[in-house]
Amino acid sequence: MFSTKNFNRSKPYIFLLLLFPSLLWIIQFITGNLGVNPIERIMDEFGLMALRLIILTLAITTLANIKKLKSIVLFRRMIGLFAFYYVTLHFSTYIFLDHFLDINFIIKDIVKRPFITFGFISFLCLIPLALTSTNQMIKRLGFKVWKKIHYLIYPAVILSSFHFYMLVRADKTEPMIYMGIIVLLLLQRIAKKLNLLQLNQ
Amino acid sequence: MKILGSEITPYSTYLNRRKFIKGTFATALATTISSNVFANHQASPDIYNKFLGENDTINSYEEITTYNNFYEFGTHKKHPSLNSGNFNPNPWSIKLEGLINNPQTIDLEKLLSKVTVEDRVYRLRCVEAWSMVIPWQGFQLSELIKIADPISSAKYIQFVTVLRPEEMPGQQKRTIIWPYREGLRMDEAMNSLTILATGLYGHKMPNQNGAPIRLVVPWKYGFKSIKSIVAIRFLNEQPETSWETLAPWEYGFYANVNPSVDHPRWSQSTERRIGEFKRRETLMFNGYEEEVAHLYKDLDMTKFY
């Protein structure tokens, strides 16, 4: 069931599954079915989806430590690229629909408002990850360099969770859940590192 | 309720009106098919439109009743309309207490027989930078203050929302310290713009909008306009208010709409009018400068936000 072959076979379905919400929201937006403040709503949906997918890529790396689930990493690049796709939609909504390309306002907003600063830096961190997500790039850069670049996922995930936490006005439960998951995933990595160090001694 | 019964057009007409304006094709078609129907829709809004500012259009009943901040029913905008079905605002009474000559618990029906309910179409600007135009029915708070008859040491008024966690699911979670409390300075409360609203669009106040009676202070951010009021206290010092208690660096006691004083997390210079695509400039005192600016001429509004 968890064979590489099966995983590879299911890739097109996962692709459609991840693409589907964005198409649905865009259609709902165009047909006026996203409530009375559709710009806010579609921006929130894109952003939340992006955050969830970023966390999912980290979770996949963790789960791949389980021998049986090793092949799950085959999905990681696609999910990571979809995370970038949703972040781009989220950011574009902010730039084009929310602020109508009012560049002066947007620059001020990014500089002055910590939660927007965090979101923006997180977006910048994800750009090199998306650009280097091909086998060719890994070859050209060498795995070590490539891996170093991809450490940018850590500032990206931490900043995006703060970005979400800070924009909620009173009930912080949902952002706290995401932060909790992120902390666990990071702890797992630290524990693994420490273990390796001990084995080497 | 005294709402000029003969003049009020059913709210369903207003519902339709927006759709008419938006669907230009549908409007054109309707005009050719039935000029009578169209004439109705054209004529009806005037009773509210005469109160409107030049650049404003009234928001639809749907917009006003499905996009609400009323944390007693949940923190999402759609929660109040979805979760307020079990709330029963009948019968209702309000406790008047504190520094007044006539402390009493007054039944809402009785109170309404003593005041003049009238139409007030106001802009509502939320602290989250969105806004609407709402046709309220209500009476001036000053009328109720006259009934309470405050003594001269009463300088502030505090309002308290009902506490019914069994009917208000949001109150079962401690997002805010319940019950919700708000306050005004006496001169703000006496201003003729300040009303206690008991209806909108000629309808009894919907649960999600603060049934059966709520405050409306149109030159202040929406959170000042406390909903489902059960107690009104007259005090000699500035009362605690809910959002200020929760985050004093973000929400002040005054909360006057002011495009030049930003919320620490976002700009207040523009707003999205619900139903419109592009943002608009936010107006000083939400466009009610003429009526209220004199109240604050000695106040440093960057400090007392």
ipTM for this prediction: 0.85
Mean pLDDT of A133-142: 93
Res. A53: pLDDT tops 80: yes
Note whether residue B137 is domain-resident.
yes
Q: Is B27 inside a domain boundary?
A: no
- pLDDT value for B3: 46
If 0-12 CB within 10 Å is exposed, 13-18 middle and 19+ buried, where does residue A66 land?
A: exposed
The answer to whether the Cβ–Cβ distance between A166 and B130 falls below 8 Å is: no
Residue A147 has pLDDT above 50, yes or no: yes
For B75, which of A35, A98, A170 is closest by C-beta distance? Answer: A170
Among partner residues A36, A39, A108, which is closest to B66 by beta-carbon distance?
A36
Across all residues in chain B, what is the average pLDDT? 87
Average pLDDT over residues B200-209: 95
Closest Cα in chain A, distance from residue B228 (Å): 20
- The answer as to whether B237 is a domain residue is yes
CATH number at residue B72: 3.90.420.10
Write A144-150 long-range contacts (CB < 8 A, 24+). Answer: none
Decide if B37 is inside a domain.
no
Q: Can you tell me the mean pLDDT for B65-77?
A: 96
Q: Do B67 and A36 touch (CB under 8 A)?
A: yes
**A1 interfaces chain B, CB cutoff of 8 Å:** no
Number of folded domains that form chain B:
1
Of all residues in chain A, the percent with pLDDT exceeding 90 is 79
In a domain, B268, yes or no: yes
* B248-293 pLDDT tens trace: 999 999 999 999 998 988 899 999 999 998 899 999 999 999 999 9
Nearest to B265 among A35, A40, A113 (CB): A113
Rounded Cα distance, B299 and B305, in Å: 10
pLDDT digit string, tens, across residues B4-24: 443 444 444 544 444 444 444
Give me the mean pLDDT over the B110-130 stretch: 96
pLDDT greater than 50 at residue A186: yes
Angstrom distances, CA of residue B255 to CA of B127, B189, B225, B281, B285: 8, 14, 11, 18, 10
The answer to whether the CB atoms of B75 and A169 lie below 8 A apart is yes
* Mean pLDDT of the B55-83 span: 94
* Lowest mean pLDDT, pick from A82-96, B46-60, B282-296: B46-60
The angle formed by the CA atoms of residues A120, A121 and A125, to the nearest 5 degrees, is 120
Domain span holding position B81: 59-296
Query: Residue B261 domain-assigned?
Result: yes
**pLDDT score for B110:** 96
Pairing of strands B195-200, B280-281: unpaired
What are the angstrom distances between the C-alpha of B35 and each of A94, A162, B285? Answer: 42, 56, 41
Distance from the Cα of B135 to chain A's closest Cα (Å) equals 17
Question: CB of A39 within 8 Å of any CB in chain B?
Answer: yes
Q: pLDDT higher for B12 or A168?
A: A168
Q: Is residue B103 part of a domain?
A: yes
Is residue B25 scored above 60 in pLDDT?
no
- Residues of chain B with Cβ-Cβ distance to A100 below 8 Å are 278-279
B173, B269, B272 ranked by CB distance to A171: nearest: B173
CB contact under 8 A, B75 and A105: no
Q: By the 8 A CB rule, do B150 and B135 touch? A: no
A113 to B266: CB separation less than 8 angstroms, yes or no: yes
- B74, part of any domain: yes
Q: Which residue has the tokens 């009474």?
A: B93
CB B127 within 8 A of CB B223: yes
Question: Which of B63, B173, B278 faces A36 most closely, judged by CB atoms?
Answer: B63
Q: Is the pLDDT of residue A97 over 60?
A: yes
